[in-house]
């Protein structure tokens, strides 16, 4: 099947590469000519484990191409996926659909035969019908259907999520569109992965409801962690006990410095706004957003207390600044709240992150970037473990403590334990909810 993928951001590029590995002929399109040139040269513009190898394989097989010519890519395509950005619109929390509708207009002008136009981007309920109206208005003779096919990819594990999904959600209105989407996902159907075919609005809502619920689980446990600190309980034991309940499950119950990334902050804000627009306030989601901001602020105060009440003049080593490990994504990362607060308070901050520097240098001014955690700890007053990269899970704590002026650790991901830190020579070990 011939597929055009409009947009080569995280979702578009991963989806396009994986579809080509299914055996489809895929053309990934982007207006950024420089980005297309990099892709044609075999350079992957994002960090996602395994993506470079899979991309190289399918380009070599002739199933995957890159282009900045949307019209040529759409001409003859049986499915056209829109995977452009839908960022939070400044000022009102709405998802910004500017790029989505612009893509729809361009697709309308380029359609030459029947095609299913599929929204892969996360979009508010009703967006697919808007896309349908835009295309029909721009090209009344166009022969097309629209479909909603939200993505559920975890950064750092996106290829596995695509190839072995919990489910594939497809929203359609016609049997023809359903047949096309079924053929696209035929390799997954043959391996018995669940494919849920539903209506457009339900498919759109499933994405928002799923992300809002996961954000709620994270935030609930972060709030429980704060209470655990007050009453003397251990949040790791609490989360283990709660997660063993089959009705709840153990995923997304790990306490930390708050959620971030490209999905949860944007999607919770959009869902809250949808509720407001329909006079049905999403009170739980609104509270989750507020509490998540409070969690990040609480981490700042925790670190300030560890520094004796003031950051001024202190040297702080920060291990990890991306919003999660195995990605270079800095969007809405807790570090963007925590690190500037330390710098603004007069701290000298050293940062180490295996993939975060490319984006982080512009987002975190005033910090020093180093490569070696032990070198970064030399003479430090505090080490903060902020992102749980594998590189930071098996540190020689004794060697780390020996290099510090004041051996204090703030482990905001609960990777280590107070006993291990004490044995290694740390005079103070601070965790979350313990």
Q: Does position 411 have pLDDT exceeding 70, yes or no?
A: yes
Q: Are 77 and 107 in contact (CB under 8 A)?
A: no
Q: Of the candidates 217, 428, 282, which has an alpha carbon nearest to the alpha carbon of residue 225?
A: 217
Can you say how many angstroms the Cα of residue 16 is from the centroid of all Cα atoms in its chain?
18
List, as one string, the DSSP characters of 137-149: HH-TT--EEEEE-
Q: Is pLDDT at 41 greater than 80 in this prediction?
A: yes
Describe the chain by its helix, strand, coil percentages, rounded to 5. Answer: 45, 15, 40
Length of the chain: 434
Residue 407 is encoded by which pair of tokens?
């051996």
Structure tokens at 378: 């030399």
> Phi and psi of 197, rounded to 5°?
-100, 125
d(CA 343, CA 12): 36
Active-site residue flag, 263? yes
Q: Are strands 144-148 and 115-119 parallel, antiparallel or unpaired?
A: parallel
CB crowding 44-81: b at 16 or more within 10 Å, else e:
bbbbbeebeebbeebbeeebbbbbbebeebbeebbbbb
CA dist 72 and 39 (Å) reads 18
What lies within 8 Å, CB to CB, of 329 at 6+ separation is 10, 155, 261, 262, 322, 323, 359
Q: Is the pLDDT of residue 302 over 90?
A: yes
- What is the distance, to the nearest Å, from the Cα of residue 325 to the centroid of all Cα atoms in its chain? 11
What pLDDT, on a 0 to 100 scale, did the predictor assign at position 322? 97
Can 2-198 and 233-434 be said to share one CATH topology?
yes
d(Cα 263, Cα 87) in Å, to the nearest integer?
10
- The torsion angle over the Cα atoms of residues 211, 270, 263 and 203, rounded to 10 degrees, is 50
Specify the CATH number of the domain 233-434: 3.40.50.720
Q: State the pLDDT confidence band at 324, using cuts at 50, 70 and 90.
A: very high
Cα distance between residue 234 and residue 434, in whole Å:
4
Q: Please, which residues bridge with residue 80 across strands?
A: 4, 117
Average pLDDT over residues 37-43: 96
Instruction: Count other Cβ atoms within 10 Å, centred on residue 351.
Output: 24
- Over range 270-289, report the average pLDDT: 96
pLDDT tens, 282-291? 999 999 999 9
Torsion of CA 169, 173, 174, 178, to 10 degrees: 0
Cβ(385)–Cβ(415) below 8 Å: yes
d(CA 104, CA 117): 9
Mean pLDDT to the nearest integer, 221-244: 97
Task: Please provide the average confidence, as pLDDT, over all residues in the chain.
Answer: 96
User: What pLDDT is stored for residue 262 in this prediction?
Assistant: 84
pLDDT at 87: 85
Domain spans of the chain, in order of start: 2-198, 233-434
Name the DSSP letter for residue 392: G
Q: Summarize the confidence of residues 223-245 as an average pLDDT.
A: 97
pLDDT of residue 376: 96
Q: What are phi and psi of 169, to 5 degrees?
A: -105, 130
pLDDT in tens, 194-224: 999 999 999 999 999 999 999 999 999 999 9
Percent of the chain with pLDDT over 70: 100
**CA 310, 398, 301: angle at the middle one, nearest 5?**
20
C-alpha closest to that of 308 among 257, 382, 376, 227: 382
Distance CA 150, CA 119 (A): 7
Average pLDDT over residues 294-317: 97
CATH number of 2-198: 3.40.50.720
Q: What backbone torsions phi and psi does residue 393 show, to the nearest 5 degrees?
A: -90, -15
Three-state DSSP class for residue 179:
helix
pLDDT at 91: 67
pLDDT in tens, 77-120: 999 999 998 888 776 778 889 999 999 999 999 999 999 999 99
Tell which residue, 367, 421, 362, has the closest CA to residue 395.
Answer: 421
Output the CA torsion sign for 167, 93, 96, 321. Answer: negative
- Total-model pTM: 0.92
Q: CA 304 to CA 269: how far, in whole Å?
A: 29
């Amino acid at each position: 099947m011939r597929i055009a993928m409009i947009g080569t951001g995280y979702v578009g590029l991963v989806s396009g590469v994986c579809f080509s590995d299914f055996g489809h002929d895929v053309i990934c399109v982007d207006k950024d000519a420089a980005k297309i040139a990099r892709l044609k040269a075999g350079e992957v513009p994002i960090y996602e484990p395994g993506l470079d190898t899979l991309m190289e394989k399918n380009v070599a097989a002739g199933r995957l191409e890159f282009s900045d010519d949307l019209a040529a890519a759409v001409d003859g395509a049986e499915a056209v996926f829109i995977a452009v950005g839908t960022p939070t619109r400044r000022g009102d929390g709405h998802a910004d659909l500017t790029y989505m509708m612009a893509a729809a207009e361009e697709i309308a002008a380029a359609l030459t035969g029947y095609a299913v136009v599929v929204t892969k981007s996360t979009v508010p309920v009703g967006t697919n019908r808007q896309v349908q109206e835009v295309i029909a208005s721009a090209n009344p003779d166009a022969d097309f259907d629209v479909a909603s096919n939200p993505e559920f990819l975890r950064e750092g594990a996106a290829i596995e999520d695509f190839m072995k999904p919990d489910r594939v959600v497809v929203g359609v209105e016609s049997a023809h569109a359903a047949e096309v989407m079924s053929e696209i996902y035929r390799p997954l159907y043959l391996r018995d992965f669940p494919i849920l075919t539903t209506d457009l609005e339900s498919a759109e809502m499933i994405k928002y409801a799923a992300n809002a619920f996961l954000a709620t689980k994270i935030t609930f446990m972060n709030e429980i962690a704060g209470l655990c600190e007050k009453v003397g309980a251990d949040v790791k034991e609490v989360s283990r006990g709660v997660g063993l309940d089959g009705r709840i499950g153990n995923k997304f119950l790990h306490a930390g410095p708050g959620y971030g990334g490209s999905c949860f902050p944007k999607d919770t804000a959009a869902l809250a706004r949808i509720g407001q627009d329909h006079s049905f306030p999403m009170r739980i989601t609104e509270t989750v957003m507020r509490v998540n901001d409070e969690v990040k602020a609480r981490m700042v105060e925790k670190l300030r207390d560890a520094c004796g009440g003031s950051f001024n003049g202190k040297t702080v080593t920060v291990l990890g600044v991306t919003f999660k490990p195995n990605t270079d994504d800095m969007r809405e990362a807790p570090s963007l709240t925590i690190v500037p607060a330390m710098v603004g308070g007069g701290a000298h901050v050293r940062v180490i992150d295996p993939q975060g520097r490319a984006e982080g240098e512009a987002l975190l001014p005033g910090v020093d970037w180093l490569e070696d955690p032990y070198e970064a700890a030399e003479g430090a007053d505090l080490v903060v473990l902020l992102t749980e990269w594998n590189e930071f899970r098996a540190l020689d704590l004794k060697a780390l403590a020996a290099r510090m002026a004041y051996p204090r650790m703030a482990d905001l991901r609960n990777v280590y334990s107070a006993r291990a830190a004490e044995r290694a020579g740390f005079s103070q070990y601070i965790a979350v909810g313990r």
